[in-house]
């Protein structure tokens, strides 16, 4: 492919336990991740349409097809900074909390982590790059298979998936006896890392980082891979498929997600002034031109 660089109410995230106040950055905590239906609100209508389309088409076979397409890492080559710059052009169609380019959210997240964890520079960079897998949207992928919450495929749909009470009615896996039972194609307590997750920017970026030999600690890779897996880390679904060791993964993801979620109402940072610091981190942890 040509190189282009040259009716559901939102769940309350477990990270609320870490932020017990009722108002965060002048926005009521209960108003984050509000997926209630309001046809008169264009953002909420956009979010609902994105999820309904996702839940209709996200089957086991579809996920396999996207893995086959994207995990050859032959779509383009770019540095991490070049990929981040593309986020200037992307507004996430699944996000009810933000209607700004994704690069703004990236720096908001990174800077809040930097403030609270000044000595963990790898964590700062994880905050900055966590959504960069959304570059797939610039390579002929519709946003419904790039953005949004993820969930396990190949088993009964998680109870806490947003809009899930009605949005899977046209998904063929809902009626496939291989996939529509409690365990589906999995063994009991097989472990989170052995589940096939709906295709999106989390899994893609995780695979890109592994493929390009990123130097992050494993906690950082877990944060990338599962930060959108809300039905598990926020909704409590899939407990019958998890292992005891998965609690370490969940702890890392929840540690990250308080920054991913609650920074979306803060002021816009001075991105140009911050670039030199983060360029240094990119050179340290994921340097050079990468295969995407």
How far is the C-alpha of 12 from the C-alpha of 32, rounded, in Å?
Answer: 8
Would the annotation count 236 as a binding residue? Answer: no
201 is in an annotated binding site: yes
Q: What are phi and psi of 120, to 5 degrees?
A: -105, 75
Q: What is the DSSP code string of 164-214? A: HHHHTTT-GGGG-TTTSSSSTTS-TT--GGGSPBPPSHHHHHHHHHHHTT-
220 marked as binding residue: no
Q: Is 93 annotated as a binding residue?
A: yes
146's enclosing H/E stretch is none
Q: Which two tokens stand for residue 34?
A: 């509000």
130 carries a ligand binding annotation = yes
Give the phi and the psi of residue 25 in degrees, each rounded to 5: 50, 45
Tell whether 81 is in a known binding site.
Answer: no
Token pair belonging to 203: 């899994």
Please give the DSSP secondary-structure letter assigned to residue 139. T
According to the annotation, is 121 in a ligand binding site? no
Q: Where are the alpha helices (DSSP H) in the chain?
A: 42-57, 60-70, 80-86, 102-116, 121-129, 164-167, 201-211, 218-226, 230-233, 246-262, 271-285
- 117 marked ligand binding residue: no
124 annotated as belonging to a binding site for a ligand: no
Q: Does the annotation list 247 as a binding residue?
A: no
CA 196 – CA 154 distance, rounded (Å): 7
Known binding positions for substrate: 33, 92-94, 134, 148-149, 227-228
Binding residues, by number, are: 33, 92-94, 105, 130-131, 134, 148-149, 201, 227-228, 260
Enumerate the known binding-site residues for Fe cation. 105, 130-131, 201, 227, 260
């Amino acid at each position: 492919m040509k190189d282009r660089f040259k009716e559901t109410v939102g769940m309350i995230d477990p990270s609320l336990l870490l932020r017990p106040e009722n108002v965060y950055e002048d926005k009521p905590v209960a108003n984050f991740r509000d997926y209630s239906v309001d046809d008169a609100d264009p953002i909420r209508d956009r979010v609902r349409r994105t999820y309904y389309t996702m839940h209709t088409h996200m089957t086991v076979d579809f996920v396999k097809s996207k893995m086959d397409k994207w995990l050859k890492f032959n779509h383009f080559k770019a540095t991490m900074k070049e990929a981040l710059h593309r986020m200037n052009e992307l507004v996430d169609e699944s996000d009810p909390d933000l209607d700004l380019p994704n690069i703004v959210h990236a720096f908001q997240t990174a800077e809040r982590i930097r403030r609270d964890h000044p000595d963990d520079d790898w964590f700062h960079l994880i905050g900055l790059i966590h959504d960069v897998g959304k570059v797939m949207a610039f390579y002929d992928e519709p946003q419904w298979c790039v953005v949004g919450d993820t969930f396990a495929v190949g088993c009964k749909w998680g109870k806490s998936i947003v809009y899930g009470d009605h949005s899977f009615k046209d998904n063929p896996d809902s009626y496939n006896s291989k996939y529509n039972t409690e365990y589906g194609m999995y063994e009991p307590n097989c472990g989170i890392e052995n589940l096939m997750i709906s295709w999106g920017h989390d899994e893609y970026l995780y695979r890109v980082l592994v493929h390009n030999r990123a130097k992050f600690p494993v906690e950082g890779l877990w944060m990338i891979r599962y930060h959108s897996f809300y039905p598990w880390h926020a909704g409590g679904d899939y407990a019958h498929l998890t292992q005891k060791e998965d609690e370490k993964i969940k702890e890392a993801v929840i540690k990250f997600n308080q920054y991913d979620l609650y920074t979306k109402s803060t002021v816009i940072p001075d991105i140009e002034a911050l670039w030199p610091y983060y360029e240094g981190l990119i050179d340290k942890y994921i340097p050079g031109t990468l295969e995407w």
